[in-house]
């Protein structure tokens, strides 16, 4: 029996929504409830209903760094829409983007506006909210370096701001504990759009030549151990091309797992454990997941 009977929920809640269509892996089962709130009021109302009925809540961004179980999620999956997928650029060049904004599209818009600083996210998939939460980035810089402030909402539905001085960004992590990131404001620098685009193209071609960007994957699976490359360790362990069911360690970049035709989430999980075991046996290094597994 649904807990979302009222008219206020009809346009934002669906049941048994296939989650595979919302992730880059294109794997996983359905969500018991799939909620797409369009503003803070709708989000707070949905959270209250879940809380009152002891329904666990999962937050879905762009689905780029996520693996959903084959059986799906027995809870509420929230994907921010509406005003959370909008971007505002003030006259002074201040950029404020909702958590649901696609980072690649935001990057290109900043190029057109002649605002530099976002180029470090070239080739990094996902949404702004997810990018902030995991301090997305890479060799060319991280999103935390350009954050001015973020707007958050806790599990009770209370929204509040956290300023730059309140935030700590580390390698693929932040000190943000709030349930939801609603929006982020960025510190960017005016520059020649042609020069910014040139840098974006350089980064894009570098990644295109070194990563399987056209395959069904979720980006890097493992965090880089201190002063080491997870991809290099996996490669040196002879694991490139290794397959479990429909999951395969990429031949192009060993820290990527590709979901081929017929793949299951269970195949990816088994391959992850195989890679971890082989790397530990060879180098004594315990690889830590960068991929989020629900």
Domain boundary among 79, 103, 118: 79
Instruction: Indicate the pTM of the whole model.
Output: 0.93
Check whether residue 171 and residue 237 sit in a common domain: no
What CATH number does residue 40 fall under?
A: 3.30.43.10
Whether residue 58 is found in the same domain as residue 128: no
Range of the domain at 190: 85-210
83, 220, 260, 288: the active-site residue: 220
Inside any domain, residue 196: yes
Are residues 165 and 97 part of one domain?
yes
Residue 134 lies in a domain: yes
The CATH number of the domain holding residue 258 is: 3.90.78.10
220: in domain = no
Active site annotation includes 220 = yes
Q: Is residue 218 part of a domain?
A: no
Same domain for 125 and 43: no
Q: What is the pLDDT along the chain (294 residues), one digit of tens a residue?
A: 799 999 999 999 999 999 999 999 999 999 999 999 999 999 999 999 999 999 999 999 999 999 999 999 999 999 999 999 999 999 888 999 999 999 999 999 999 999 999 999 998 889 999 999 999 988 889 999 999 999 999 989 999 999 999 999 999 999 999 999 999 999 999 999 999 999 999 999 998 888 887 788 998 999 999 889 999 999 999 999 999 999 999 999 999 999 999 999 999 999 999 999 999 999 999 999 999 999
Residue 269 lies in a domain: yes
Co-location of 102 and 180 in the same domain: yes
Q: Per the residue annotation, which of 49, 149, 172, 276 is the catalytic one?
A: 172
As for how many domains the chain has, the answer is 3
Last residue of a domain, one of 79, 98, 126: 79
Parallel, antiparallel, or unpaired for β 57-59 and 73-78?
parallel
Of 17, 40, 119, 290, which one is the catalytic site residue? 290
């Amino acid at each position: 029996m649904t807990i979302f009977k009222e008219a206020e929920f009809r346009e934002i809640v669906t049941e048994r929504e296939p989650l595979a269509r919302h992730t880059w892996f294109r794997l996983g089962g359905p969500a018991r409830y799939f909620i797409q709130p369009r503003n803070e009021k709708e989000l707070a109302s949905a959270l209250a209903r879940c809380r009152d009925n002891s329904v666990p809540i999962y937050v879905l961004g762009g689905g780029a760094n996520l693996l959903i179980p084959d059986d799906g999620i027995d809870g509420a999956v929230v994907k921010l829409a509406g005003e959370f997928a909008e971007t505002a650029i003030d006259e002074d060049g201040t950029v404020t983007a909702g958590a649901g904004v696609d980072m690649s599209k935001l990057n290109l818009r900043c190029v057109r506006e002649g605002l530099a600083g976002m180029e470090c996210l070239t080739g990094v998939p996902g949404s702004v909210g997810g990018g902030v939460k995991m301090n997305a980035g890479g060799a060319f810089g991280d999103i935390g370096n350009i954050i001015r402030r973020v707007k958050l909402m806790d599990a009770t539905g209370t929204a509040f701001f956290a300023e730059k001085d309140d935030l700590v960004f580390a390698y693929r992590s932040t000190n943000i504990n709030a349930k939801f990131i609603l929006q982020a404001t960025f510190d960017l620098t005016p520059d020649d759009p042609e020069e910014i685009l040139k840098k974006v193209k350089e980064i894009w071609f570098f990644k295109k030549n070194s990563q399987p960007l056209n395959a069904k994957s979720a980006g890097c699976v493992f965090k880089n151990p201190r002063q080491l490359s997870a991809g290099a360790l996996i490669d040196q362990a002879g694991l490139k091309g290794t397959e479990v069911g429909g999951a395969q360690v990429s031949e192009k970049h060993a820290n990527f797992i590709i979901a081929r035709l017929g793949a299951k989430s269970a195949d990816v999980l088994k391959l992850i454990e195989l890679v971890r075991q082989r790397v530990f046996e060879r180098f004594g290094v315990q690889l830590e997941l960068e991929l989020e597994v629900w």
